[in-house]
Amino acid sequence: MKRKNAFLMVLALTISVTGCGKTAENTQTAAGTELAATESMVTQETEAEDAQEASEKEMTPWLNSNVVGAVTENTTAELKDDFYLAVNHDYLETAVPDEGEASKGSFDDVSKVVDGRLLQMMTDDTLEGHDAELMQGLYGMWLDWDSRNSQGMSELMPHIEVIQQIENIDELTEYLISEEGMQYGAYLYDIELGVDAEDSQWHNAEIASIGLSLGDAAEYEKLTAIGERKQKGHRELAEWMLEKAGYTDTEIETILENEYAFEKEIAPSMMTTADWYAQDAMEKANNAVTMEELKEMSPTYPITKFMEATGYGASERINLQEPEWLKKMNELYTEENFEKIKSYLLVNVLTKNMRYLDEETYRKYLQVNNDIYGVTGNREDEKRAVSTVQDWLPASVSKIYAKQYLSEEIRDDVTNIIEEIIDTYRTMLASEEWLSEETREKAISKLDHIKINAVYPDKWEDTNQLWFTSKEDGGSYFAAINELSKCYTEMDKKKINTKVDHEIWDFAITDVNAYYNPSDNSINIIAGILEAPFYRSDMTEEEKLAGIGVIIGHEISHAFDTTGAQFDEDGNFVNWWTEKDFETFCERAGKLIAYYDTIVPYTDGENYPGSNVQGEAIADMGGVKCMLLIAKEKENFDYDAFFRGYAEVWKEVLTKEYGETATYQDSHPLAYLRVNVTIMQQPEFFDTYGIKEGDGMYMAEEDRIAVW
């Protein structure tokens, strides 16, 4: 499947485990859904008061009101003490995630609107052309349980049997560079098309480290509650698939012990979640090498043979994200560790394909993910099928959606709003006293060169290169996924050493999200998010600024957060700051991190990981500050309506399990903090509500942490 380049870390608006505020696959057991949901609600009602009392004692500085059940009718808050809770109390008290979902909030509400349109597209027999055939064909095969059930494991097992027959490290190497290994065994490599960080007009090859069953490499040193849930879930899935593949209980236990032993040995050489969110992450992960240098660095681990076999070896420059990981892989790739590596490969091939097999296997996959993220119930299969089609065919879906639902008038309106906000941001940068003139000029130049991608592009990816065998011609869902995967690989290989076409957007415009991309210095305000409460043509000035205005300001601010600030106006990883200015910038970001580090979001007493959320927190504060500069120019502007509107946009409840994952492994602060901490930096907030020392929303001016 086509993936986004991990190094470039496209900066987005929403909390995300896999994108757009959703968990990977949140569902259910087919039976017992209603009972489970009812039992969950009863538990919440009976335990909520005790939980709230404990939370109020241990959570600081506010109640984490995003947790489902944390807010009851007895929970009180005044605007001056907890603005987010006071504004959203009734919603937070009554809202629960829909069946099969881990969250409920504004983004989820907008997703329903977009999903409804996409569902219509999937079954509209008046649509014609290659894109419609691809989209509707894949949708139909996803839902064809009779065919998928009749296939069962039959299409996957021949590839598993090949892995089973590998007897030593040399045979493993031959397998990995074979055509079959490149399709099914490449879980020992993560090689994909990238953009040269130091010259962003060119494509290159990118090498990332392998995946880990616990997600974060830090979990192998100290297992957290999140890691425990993932470990339990991974083991359950692996046992299920190994049993289906014919292994005995004793064999399964040995395989899982070997897999974990391998992951535990390799994990210390890999960057942790905290490492990836640190200020020096870009510098650490930017390591350009040639093929000759890579061969010297990897004499035993056959990554260069794989690259030569696939065509990625033609890349003139290759970015190696984690040199220490590659060094360790060379140490481990020996006959002595063969069984561990083979076990890791076998389990990965089995579990990664669960989504594409029969219904029983798919339901098992969903049930385990439900358990990990605290989800009850199930989203309808039709919606899951739509999500899959959107993931695999983003350009086809986007082209049809644009034609069906969008207009040039909407794009012009959004473009005009973006341009107005960029003009205001120029004023904001010009007034920053801590910037030297040299750095200020370059910052404003970067702002002036921001590429505006509004609503939908003028140019699309050539989807005629995509194909799969239709059901009518004997195709299957499992085969279609693998055929599409091959198509994307071939398309990517053709782009190696070619210029990047920045007119083509590398994501679906139906995402309910917005992005800043540092590699081309672009702001992307796309169709999916252009619904109420974020955008509506008849909004008041206050609603518009609190919704789409803040979102645009947020994305522009990413150009000047701790990641974006390291890329120049052309998207190159270049230091354009004076040494003193960048030192001051990092000190200001450090103050923000230190404040977040004092927050306790759950009753376990663990502090918030401030370094993880620094970029998004900087963007939130910059976006709101920019809107308030615009507000100063508006006659009779209603600041109360603006601040309330901003709080309402971020109304949201999460399952406790999903919330914990978002807290400790995501770059976005929880919603209650995105509101309260952000508005505490603004003097207009203090003036509007008469906030004074002793109030829960008070922060002395000298203690404020906004970077911009």
DSSP per-residue codes, 126-147: T--SHHHHHHHHHHHHHH-HHH
Please tell me the predicted confidence (pLDDT) of residue 356: 97
Please tell me the predicted confidence (pLDDT) of residue 263: 98
User: Could you tell me the end-to-end alpha-carbon distance of the chain, in angstroms, rounded to an integer?
Assistant: 38
Closest CA to 63 of 38, 43, 36, 82: 82
In Å, how far from its chain's centre is CA 12?
8
Please tell me the predicted confidence (pLDDT) of residue 183: 84
The total of structural domains in the chain comes to 1
Cβ burial of 134 (10 Å; 0-12, 13-18, 19+) is: buried
Residue with tokens 């989203």: 379
Residue with tokens 């140490």: 331
Structure tokens at 226: 């999140």
**Which residues are paired to 205 by β-bridges?**
193, 318
Q: Is the separation of the CB atoms in 121 and 667 below 8 Å?
A: no
3-state helix, strand, coil in the chain (%, to 5): 60, 5, 35
* Contacts for 375 with CB less than 8 Å, ≥ 6 apart: 23, 26, 27, 28, 97, 100, 101, 102, 369, 655, 658
Q: Is the separation of the CB atoms in 339 and 258 below 8 Å?
A: yes
Residue 191, H or E segment: strand 190-195
Whether 453 maps to a domain, the answer reads no
Whether 327 maps to a domain, the answer reads yes
- What is residue 666's three-state secondary structure? coil
User: How far apart, in whole angstroms, are the C-alpha atoms of residue 208 and residue 282?
Assistant: 13
Beta strands in 199-339 (DSSP E): 203-208, 288-289, 318-320
The predicted-structure confidence for 660-701, as pLDDT tens digits, reads as follows 999 999 999 999 999 999 999 999 999 999 999 999 999 999
In Å, how far from its chain's centre is CA 51?
30
| Backbone conformation region of residue 100, classed left if phi is above 0, alpha if psi is from -120 to 50, else beta | left
Q: Is the separation of the CB atoms in 623 and 553 below 8 Å?
A: yes
Residue ranges of the chain with per-residue pLDDT less than 50: 1-9, 15-56
What count of other Cβ atoms lies within 10 Å of the Cβ of residue 22? 23
Q: Is the separation of the CB atoms in 608 and 664 below 8 Å?
A: no
Q: Is the dihedral of CA 682, 684, 689, 692 positive or negative?
A: positive
User: How far apart, in whole angstroms, are the C-alpha atoms of residue 566 and residue 577?
Assistant: 9
Whether 35 maps to a domain, the answer reads no
Residue with tokens 């691809």: 134
CATH of the domain at 283: 1.10.1380.10
Structure tokens at 290: 């040639």
- What letter does residue 278 receive in the DSSP assignment? S
DSSP per-residue codes, 356-388: GS-HHHHHHHHHHHHHHHT--S---HHHHHHHH
- What Rg, from alpha-carbon coordinates, does the chain have? 25
Residue with tokens 């008469």: 690
Whether 272 maps to a domain, the answer reads yes
**Which residues are paired to 116 by β-bridges?**
none
* Contacts for 426 with CB less than 8 Å, ≥ 6 apart: 444, 447, 448
The predicted-structure confidence for 560-601, as pLDDT tens digits, reads as follows 998 999 999 999 999 999 999 999 999 999 999 999 999 999
Whether 437 maps to a domain, the answer reads no
Q: Report in angstroms the alpha-carbon separations of 692 from 679, 697, 699.
A: 14, 8, 9
Q: Is the separation of the CB atoms in 611 and 277 below 8 Å?
A: yes
Please tell me the predicted confidence (pLDDT) of residue 16: 35
Whether 287 maps to a domain, the answer reads yes
Please tell me the predicted confidence (pLDDT) of residue 322: 98
**Which residues are paired to 119 by β-bridges?**
none
Q: Report in angstroms the alpha-carbon separations of 528 from 74, 285, 534, 537.
A: 37, 31, 10, 15
H helices of 190-266, in order, are 225-244, 249-266
- What is residue 416's three-state secondary structure? helix
**Which residues are paired to 22 by β-bridges?**
19
Residue 89, H or E segment: helix 83-94
Whether 614 maps to a domain, the answer reads no
User: How far apart, in whole angstroms, are the C-alpha atoms of residue 447 and residue 440?
Assistant: 10
Q: Which domain range does residue 211 map to?
A: 157-352
CA atoms within 13 A on the CB side of 218: 11
User: How far apart, in whole angstroms, are the C-alpha atoms of residue 699 and residue 596?
Assistant: 13
Structure tokens at 333: 């790739």
Whether 464 maps to a domain, the answer reads no
